[in-house]
Structure 1
Amino acid sequence: MKIQINPIGTIYSPYKQTKGIPIQGRFKDDVEAFAELHKEYQAGLKDLDGFSHAILIYHFHNETEEKITAHPYLEKENHGIFAVRSPYRPNRIGISIVKIKKIVDNRLYFNEVDVFDETPLIDIKPYVEFFDKRENVKSGWVEKHFKNGVPKQTIL
């Protein structure tokens, strides 16, 4: 089976290269970006401004390499690709939870961004605390890096 996905728009951010990008957007929450949707999807933004956060689903367009194991930031050893958030994934699909600032026409403005400039946007979903938040969460190998709070090396 072959799947074809077409972008609904483009994410524009100040990140043109890896240096300076956070490993997760919440670690550098003062940086703003926006997603510009194709005009035919503008009506889909209706009522999204009633949510504080959104989940952006996008394509890691700058990555061409695919790996089954990867060496994540903060870690010295490789882990399976499905146990890390590396862009070297089989389908190169990324997700980010962003904080919504405003919506103007076909643009969604947000911060807590960790996405490269001109990234193809595949979908947007509202972050719903009652659906998305989980209790008693285990975070595998990542837990040891956060046992004393957020580590200093959260920016690439």
Structure 2
Amino acid sequence: MTAARGRDDRQAGISLRVIGRIRTPFVEAPGTPIQSAYAEGSEGIVIVDDVFAEALDDIEGFDRVWLVYWMDRVSTFKPHVVPYRDTRERGLFATRSPCRPNPIGISVVRILGRDGGRLRVADVDMLDDTPLLDIKPYVPEFDAYPSAKAGWFDECGVDRRIADGRFHAPDDSARGGRR
């Protein structure tokens, strides 16, 4: 990618534009589902900024969408973590822990309806008022690989489905997030 553009992206810097907010019933990490697959029935509203509302045209034809968002209330980067579904420390990139160099979250949610720039969705697993970065349609042909190996996760014996707060900052100071 760098060679094709003729510049070093690591030095150029990257900026992201927040395109809206995700409203959910979860105001703090403890008690929040750890993945959208474990959040069945929890409902939320995706509020897209007016300038992007028409980009939602045709989204109603999809059952599910990927929400890409900024996890603004997590602790800082940790190279090793004990993931929710395990009891031993793992390399961060072999987990779904939110304590990443760039705290970008992804969740597949179910579309319940659309009203202009608002999507009513189910199976939300993010905190209330989370900054939204992007929306992409979920396409089973592209997004599902049921026979793929899942590393340590295939052998883990822990069945935790709800967060306990271990990865979230004690206050808003960690990433400048809002509550």
Q: Indicate which of 136, 140, 143 corresponds to 1:129.
A: 140
Query: Secondary structure at 2:102's aligned position in 1?
Result: coil
Q: How far did 1:136 drift? A: 2.1
What TM-score, normalized to structure 1? 0.92
2-structure distance, mates of 1:135, 1:38: 35
Matched, 1:106 2:113: no
Whole-Å Cα distance in 2 between the matches of residues 64 and 75 of structure 1?
Answer: 19
> Which residue of 158, 161, 169 corresponds with 1:154?
161
Structure having the higher Rg: 2
Query: What is the Cα deviation at residue 77 of structure 1?
Result: 1.2
Q: CA deviation at 1:64?
A: 4.3
Q: Give me the whole-angstrom Cα distance separating, in 2, the residues matched to 1:145 and 1:132.
A: 23
Q: Which moved more, 1:43-52 or 1:126-135?
A: 126-135
Please give the root-mean-square deviation of Cα atoms over the aligned residues, in Å: 1.5
> Cα offset for 1:28?
2.6
Q: Using the TM superposition, name which of 116-125 and 74-83 deviates more.
A: 74-83
> Aligned pair 1:73/2:84, yes or no?
yes
* 2: CA distance, partners of 1:19 / 1:80: 23
Runs of 4+ in 1 over 2 A off after TM superposition: none
Deviation sequence 1:17-68 (CA, Å, 0-9, x none): 1121111122131110011010000001001110000000000101241111
Q: Which amino acid aligns with 2:81?
A: A
In percent, how many aligned pairs have the same letter?
36
**Paired AA for residue 79 in structure 1:** R
In 2, Cα distance between the equivalents of 1:64 and 1:5? 20
Distance 2:37 2:113 in 1: 18
CA distance in 2, matches of 1:28, 1:145: 20
What 5-or-longer segments of structure 2 have no aligned partner? Answer: 1-11, 164-179
1:115 to 126, 131, 135: 126
Alpha-carbon distance in 2 for matches of 1:74, 1:125: 27
Q: Distance in 2 between matches of 1:145 and 1:63?
A: 24
SS of 2:156's equivalent? Answer: helix
- Does residue 1:30 correspond to 2:37, yes or no? no
Which sections of structure 1, spanning at least 5 residues, go unmatched? Answer: none
Distance across 2 between alignment mates of 1:48 and 1:122: 16
Q: Which amino acid aligns with 1:154?
A: R
TM-score, scaled to structure 2: 0.80
Per-residue displacement from partner, 1:60-110 (whole Å, max 9, x unpaired)?
101241111211102111111111111100011110011111111111111
Report the 3-state secondary structure (helix = DSSP H, G, I; strand = E; otherwise coil) of the residue aligned with 2:54.
helix
Amino acid at match of 1:136: S
Question: What is the SS of the residue equivalent to 1:125?
Answer: strand
Q: Which residue among 12, 26, 32 is the counterpart of 1:21?
A: 32
Number of aligned residues = 152
